[in-house]
Amino acid sequence: YKGARIQVLDLPGIIEGAAEGKGRGRQVISTARTCNMILIVLDAGKPLTHKKIIEQELFSFGIRINQKPPNVKIVKKENGGIGYQENVLQTKGMTNEVARVILKEYKISCAEVILREDITVDQFIDVIEGNRAYIPVLYVFNKIDSLTIEELDILDQMPNYVPLSSQHGWNIEELMQEIWDRCNMLRIYTKPRGQIPDYEEPVILHSEKSPTIEEFCNRLHKSIMNEFSHAVVWGRSAKHQPQRCGKDHLLQDEDIVQICKKTGGK
């Protein structure tokens, strides 16, 4: 899709109790933790109880769907007790005393805690655990051809979903575009010196923010930066065409990049 090869892994269905190992659930969910995105495919004509079960099993296994890591900093120290700071008013249950009780449960007696956003107690525990996976999830409702317009209107109130019909091929393009957008994918084309850009095999980067030239080089090969001199960039990120750039230049989708090395260049 858009020059990118997107690998889709079809996992067995998750049943209730999967996080405890039922139906080989732990192996299935462990695989899901390594993905850039999870698609939960549901029958549009059946109750949404399956959706709740899957969400609960993913949560129990440490996967936080459609969330970002809490903006909380916990720095352990050798002595000095617990330091607690709130940069934002806490309205969801977090207090100095609650933080101290939780830290004590985890045998942390000396640490500096800084809360930079309004969080829940569960989110604070997630930060202490440090092993949570924050993965975007898209709910795919199949067989919409069997629903009435009124039923589709009800489904349309749900966030993070795409209705489709695999039998008739409806909305497949919208699904692919949603996957592209939520995985924050960018296409960067390489251009060897004296040759035309390679539009057939773009380098695909995943980044919520605009990636830098250095990230692009490391995506190609980590040794490139050892000999990096500068880059020549064409595209939306360039102020003029072309623009000579350093390693901190921010790239945009469909930019063309030529890497020049200290030893004479590419």
Q: Can you give the pLDDT at residue 265?
A: 42
- State the amino acid at position 241 in one-letter form: Q
C-alpha 180/C-alpha 253 separation (Å) is 12
Using 50, 70 and 90 to split pLDDT, how confident is the model at 263?
low
**Tokens encoding 210:** 């605009």
C-alpha 85/C-alpha 92 separation (Å) is 16
The SS3 of residue 150 is: helix
How far is the CA of 198 from the CAs of 188, 204, 258, in angstroms? 10, 13, 11
Following DSSP, what letter does each residue of 144-187 receive, concatenated?
Answer: GGGS-HHHHHHHTTSSSEEE-BTTTTBTHHHHHHHHHHHTTEEE
**CB-CB contact of 239 with 225 (8 Å):** no
Q: Can you give the pLDDT at residue 13?
A: 79
| Nearest in space to 173 (alpha carbons), one of 161, 164, 182, 185 | 164
Query: pLDDT, tens digit, for every residue of 232-254?
Result: 999 999 999 999 999 999 999 99
Q: Report whether pLDDT(23) > 80.
A: no
Q: Report whether pLDDT(201) > 60.
A: yes
**Tokens encoding 200:** 């057939």
The SS3 of residue 122 is: helix
The SS3 of residue 178 is: helix
Backbone φ and ψ of 142, nearest 5°:
-90, 165
Q: Is the pTM of this model over 0.75?
A: yes
C-alpha 77/C-alpha 115 separation (Å) is 17
Q: Can you give the pLDDT at residue 47?
A: 64
